Structure 1
Amino acid sequence: MNNHMKGELKVIKYDGDDLLETIDLAAIEYPITIYVDDEEFATIVCSPTNLQELVIGFLASEGIIRHPSQILSIEIDENRGFAYVHLKIKQSINKEFFSKRMIGSCCGKSRQFYFYNDANTAKTILSKHLLSIHDCFKLMNQLQVDSIDFRQTGGVHNAALCTNENILFSCSDIGRHNALDKLYGQILQKHISVKDKIVVFSGRISSEVVLKISKIGVGILISKSAPTTLGIELANDLGITVIGFVRKEKLNIYSHPERIIEVENFSYTEIKE
């Protein structure tokens, strides 16, 4: 539990019978502005924890760096909300390049919307790693048990890097994308191989989330939440197994089911419209 994740608010609660003035916990919202080689690059609204990992993961996800070894120095000014990053090889950053959409072909298949930098950093996942349906329930339950900040505030998302047996480490943030960037930053810093790893996640499976999973290089994403149609189209194109609505011993397998052990003997039936 990290006290930097939470703040106290005065609140008047109604319990169905009476009104009561009390103190409640709420997730802290914290803006941090990232400078790269003395040039302002982006401002992220986040939870004020694991800020160095967040900055590294965000820059890697955006294609500014491939590895932390490309960074000369990082200085985090928590009081003022600034992160100053200097690269070993200075580069000129065209911010329009990172904010304009393009329509491109993903793996030669469906046409999808991307940021320009996504086309350069998204990876097709070829991992043949397998897991069982039981593993999905076990890991999601472990994420929820460990998510103390969510239970206390209801205002954060959680992302965890896992083996089939256990959670290796997890990150929390008010933003689901930030939680994944923090996870990515730790993976890069700790030189962790992800070819046999799984990401367990609390948030909605949007196209941006699937792209981040692709950039991290993990082949299996498990979430308690819903996907979007574009998210699943991208997952199919990028070789990512997406499992959603993992709740109360039920789940949905949306893409690349061949990584789920029980699917091998599954008999498909025609869906009648």
Structure 2
Amino acid sequence: MNDMKKNGWEIIRFNGDSKSILQEEVAIEKPFTIILNGKEFATIVCTPTNLQDLIVGFLAAEGVIRFYDEIKSISIDEKLGFSYIQLKKDLDVFELDHSKRFIGSCCGKSRQFYFKNDVRTAKTIMSQLSISVNQCFTLMNALQTKSEQFIKTGGVHNAALATHDEIITIRSDIGRHNALDKLYGHVIQNKIKLGDKLVVFSGRISSEVLLKISKMGVGILVSKSAPTNLALQLADDLGITVIGFTRGNRLNIYTHPHRIIEADSANNNL
């Protein structure tokens, strides 16, 4: 029983005492290697959709670029799993140390960043956006109903850019951090202003996820899942409103609750 066709897999399904054989669509997982200025930079295991968004967002999150026009050229070989990026500037990728832990302080607070590049790229958020509790419920429901890949496979995470009353763009991936990088890449390439935007998310809020939200410059993160303690410490420090366990008509507000209002008339004054 190993007949695989495209992203379908032959399965045996039991429903009570009823047995059936059918094709089940499953999430695709594939490694992609980034060649940056002719040198191997990183390999990302991902869902092979919106790959240019993913690559641009990943480079921005890692502090390699700040703007899309810093990239001279980008080409993607989907079949072999390689992407080739040439920057306008010279860059010795081996000087970028992504593995060294860093613990520092700022403004009297202890920012426990794991990696040195986070120190350069994480932002304190000053967004004046506000949103109502009911709008959080509506946006989370929209995220789940609009995600075609999740509906088909149940095997991907979703991240959406939204205003306080509607979903604008959704990106999906087997990796929750990849979904955010795809979203970030879309934002950078289209020069989208984020002062009146928030992110709606399906995955667990780890410190890595929280830092990606900070690097994007978003002030509100609404998630279906749970946060970690380090993520909340960073969110409190960096000025990010974290909402977790947004399910049905329930949610938890963990940090900076001043952006969440009980009435339906949320504003987006900047």
| TM-score bracket for the superposition, by shorter chain length | over 0.9
Aligned to 2:78: 78
The farther-off stretch of 117-126 and 12-21 is 12-21
> How well do the aligned residues superpose, as a CA RMSD in angstroms?
1.4
Aligned to 1:37: 37
Q: Do the aligned residues in 2 keep the contact of 1:104 with 1:114 (CA within 8 Å)? A: no
TM-superposition CA deviations, 1:18-68 (whole Å, max 9, x none): 332221110000110001100100000001111011000000000000011
What runs of 5+ residues in structure 1 fail to find an aligned partner?
A: 1-5, 264-273
Aligned to 1:139: 139
Aligned to 2:123: 123
CA distance in 2 between counterparts of 1:255 and 1:79 reads 43
Alignment pair present for 1:224 and 2:224: yes
Q: Do the aligned residues in 2 keep the contact of 1:107 with 1:237 (CA within 8 Å)? A: no
Q: Do the aligned residues in 1 keep the contact of 2:220 with 2:242 (CA within 8 Å)? A: yes
Instruction: After TM superposition, list the pairs within 5 Å mapping 1:79-228 onto structure 2.
Output: 79-94=79-94, 97-105=97-105, 107-228=107-228
CA shift at 1:107, angstroms? 4.9
CA distance in 2 between counterparts of 1:86 and 1:210 reads 29
Alignment pair present for 1:234 and 2:234: yes
Q: Do the aligned residues in 2 keep the contact of 1:41 with 1:95 (CA within 8 Å)? A: no
CA distance in 1 between counterparts of 2:111 and 2:256 reads 19
Equivalent AA in structure 2 for residue 10 of structure 1: E
Question: Quick one: percent identity of the two aligned structures?
Answer: 60
Aligned to 1:269: none
SS at match of 1:27: coil
CA shift at 1:101, angstroms? 1.5
CA shift at 1:105, angstroms? 2.1
Alignment pair present for 1:262 and 2:262: yes
SS at match of 2:112: strand
Aligned to 1:268: none
Aligned to 2:266: none
CA shift at 1:218, angstroms? 0.3
CA distance in 2 between counterparts of 1:207 and 1:61 reads 13
CA shift at 1:112, angstroms? 1.1
Give the aligned length.
258
Aligned to 1:270: none
What runs of 5+ residues in structure 2 fail to find an aligned partner?
A: 1-5, 264-270
SS at match of 1:55: helix
Q: What TM-score, normalized by structure 2, do the two folds share?
A: 0.93
Name the CA shift for 1:158/1:260 in 2 (closer, same or farther; >3 Å): same
Aligned to 1:52: 52
SS at match of 2:11: strand
CA distance in 2 between counterparts of 1:123 and 1:14 reads 50
CA shift at 1:113, angstroms? 3.4
